[in-house]
Chains A and B, each alone.
Chain A
Amino acid sequence: MREAIVEGIGFWGSGLPDWDAACAWARAGQRPAQAPARPAPALLAANERRRAPATVAVALEAALAACEAAGREPTALPSVFASTHGEMSITDYMCATLASDPRAVSPTRFHNSVHNAAAGYWTIGTGAHAPATAISAGHGSFAQGLIEAMAQLAAGSEAVLLVAYDGPACGPLAEMAPSEGLLGVALVLSRVPCPGLPVLRMELAQHAGMDRGDAAGPLSRLLAGNAMQPALPLLEALALERGQVLLPAGADQWLRIDIGHG
């Protein structure tokens, strides 16, 4: 059983452009009449905000919001970036260009094609020399990101930033790797007890005999098409002060999280 304190939450989902909006939707079914199609993260220079891949933008937006909510300097935090598929518009671009005119591949798109693009832009934008990692674990990507974040706390980090995100599928790849809309969630997790903050206690479990808990909640229903939707039950539980969630962590593997609400 590992334990962590949730010091800050960041959120950006299509139609719910921050954590307050996500909470209002989860608790009262209210959402903004209009929301931007993608975030414009303050960490990127003005000319990069529209050019940056959408998944980079949503990851940076959620990450900065979580750090601000936690009152933590981003430069001091090691970070874990989890994404199921990475930026599929770039995968689609690379594969389409290679099929038609391989010598025309754009160098910028190529270096943005790495799975750690969001992690790279985060460390560059914040000036963080702390370690950053980027992982993928299919449907279990969020849970495995949480496990790595917990393991970093156990290894001596006082606090760690977890960022999980996916974006829309694109082109012929979409049939193989379906995903809709933009979703970025970020948690600043720490080992420092603080009254009033949620505490996560988690352990790996087999599916057999486990109660999967409630049916899809309001966030899960609204953003069900996004590949990072397995993260949403935890966010719902935090918004609605529920006590337990079960997240898919891999083949016949679940991460059971008990949540203490300050």
Chain B
Amino acid sequence: MTEASPPRLPPLNLLAYSATTALGAGLDAQRQALAQGRSGLRRNDFGSDPLDCWIGRVEGVEDVALPPALAGFACRNNALAWLALQQDGLTDALAGVVARHGARRVAVVMGTSTSAIGATEEAYARLSTDAEGMAHFPPELQRPRIHTPHALGDFVQATTGLQGPCVTVATACSSSAKVFAQAARLIHAGFADAALVGGVDTLCGSVLFGFHSLQLVASAPCQPFDARRSGLSLGEAGGYAVLERAGAGPATALQLRGYGESSDAHHMSAPHPQGLGARLAMEQALRSAGLEPAQLGYLNLHGTSTPANDSIEAAAVAALFPPSLHASSTKGWTGHTLGAAGIVESVFALLALSDGLLPGTLNSTVPDPACGPQIRFDNARADIGHAMNNSFGFGGNNCSLVFGKVE
């Protein structure tokens, strides 16, 4: 494993960051709902034949109107990508890095699980058959750039005018955590001086009925790490961060300090029974940040509320960290936002650093027997120096990120 272990990561400045979730658009909406313990989950009202479950749906996505020049990209996923990009000074921060380095030196690295597949699903629901018996998409959906996994990165690049390397990372639910690692490498290797990273995933039939087919969707709101949990609640979200090589622009209060990535090498949709991949990712993230486990102040867990994930992740955390660590899952607030979970929960970790609000685990009251003292159900306040986010995906694809406060 030494070959794959990243050396100490040169810190990257975080010029701006934001998330838009079922809690609302932008950081203040996230802050308020986290502090008040107000969930964004609601009864499933998505689609014409909704499953009996709860979802984290973002208000107002249907009302987003893209600028006329971008109309060809219109679909639910790109609408949420657009809405999320207008928040918290992201575009100002991008203007700054473009002014310093030029648009060609700013990369776009976006994560998603299903990209704009909701538009492809819609096209299949409204096919027309020609005289030869061939089925075709309806004319208004005959837009190749939205029917491919790169639809998200392509749209974000077109929207922002950035001209550096542009790539969509699609490793299921670790996607928008891995974007930080890939952007850090692009900057380190000299392919870029700054990067817009992020992730967007929207509710669609593929994930609602797909997770249902795996019997992983709870009929009640999800209860991460609770002994009574019965499955996950799906959500949608978008978020971004603007990264820049430290020293190449203004100093920032927060930085990306480390990352760790690993593979379970076990099963396509079930975690490694001993949490080996999770532990490797967390250990490597700490090593790349130059930290001992006791120096971590907050850990945002993957914590999907599926029976398998939570007990395995809790055991991996208990084996690695001291009892003093405050670790929690915030999926009771947002639902599992899949390919956007990495950016959303990184933003929550950044809020813990900037505000000192360490979220608990909403909806959960009875700890799973595997939970160590690290797993916290109640919010707490503390001034911390370092926070981690875990994101694990299908295919046994794991990523842990470490963020730090500049002293």
Q: Which residues of A contact B (CB under 8 A)?
A: 2, 76-78, 83-86, 91, 94-96, 98-99, 102-103, 105-107, 110-117, 119-121, 123-124, 126-138, 140-141, 144, 147-148, 150-152, 154-159, 171-173, 175-177, 204, 206, 249-253
Contact = CB atoms under 8 A, between A and B. Distances in A.
Contacts of A113: 206, 210
Contacts of B6: 155-156
Contacts of B191: 2, 147, 150-151, 204
A56 to B, nearest CB: 10
Main secondary structure of the interface of B (DSSP, over half): mixed
A144 to B, nearest CB: 4
29 contacts: A76-B3, A76-B4, A77-B3, A77-B4, A86-B170, A98-B124, A98-B206, A102-B205, A103-B209, A107-B269, A114-B268, A116-B172, A121-B395, A123-B395, A124-B264, A124-B265, A124-B266, A126-B265, A129-B277, A130-B4, A131-B262, A132-B395, A137-B153, A137-B166, A147-B186, A204-B104, A204-B191, A206-B104, A250-B166
Contact of A133 (B124, B182, B266): B182
A120 B395 CA distance: 4
B219 interface: no
Interface string B187-203: 01111000000000000
A171 B135 contact: yes
A114 B154 contact: no
B1 interface: yes
B121 A177 contact: no
B260 to A, nearest CB: 8
Interface stretch (B140-148, B311-319, B347-355): B140-148
A157 B150 CA distance: 26
B396 A120 contact: yes
B394 A151 contact: no
Contacts of B5: 156
Contacts of A151: 182, 185-186, 188-189, 191
Interface in B112-138: 113, 117, 120-121, 123-125, 127, 135-137
A127 B267 CA distance: 11
A245 B76 CA distance: 38
Contacts of B215: 107
B213 A172 contact: no
A133 B169 contact: yes
B168 interface: yes
B172 A114 contact: yes
A99 B117 CA distance: 13
Interface of B: 1, 3-7, 49, 104, 113, 117, 120-121, 123-125, 127, 135-137, 142-145, 147-150, 153-154, 157-158, 163, 165-172, 178, 182, 184-186, 188-191, 205-206, 209-215, 261-269, 276-277, 280, 393-397
A82 to B, nearest CB: 9
Nearest to B191: A147
Contact of A117 (B163, B264, B268): B268
A102 B396 contact: no
B206 to A, nearest CB: 5
Contact of A95 (B113, B124, B136): B124
Given A114-B395, A131-B4, 6 more contacts: A84-B150, A114-B393, A121-B268, A136-B168, A148-B167, A151-B189
A108 to B, nearest CB: 8
A154 B397 contact: no
Contacts of A157: 3-4
Contacts of A134: 169-171, 395, 397
Contacts of B4: 76-78, 130-131, 157
B122 to A, nearest CB: 9
Contact of B206 (A110, A130, A137, A253): A110
B53 to A, nearest CB: 13
Which of A76, A91, A141, A206 gathers most chain B CB within 10 Å?
A91
Contacts of A114: 113, 170-172, 268, 393-395
A106 B206 CA distance: 11
Contacts of A129: 1, 262-265, 276-277, 280
A115 B262 CA distance: 17
Given A110-B214, A119-B171, A86 B185 contact: no
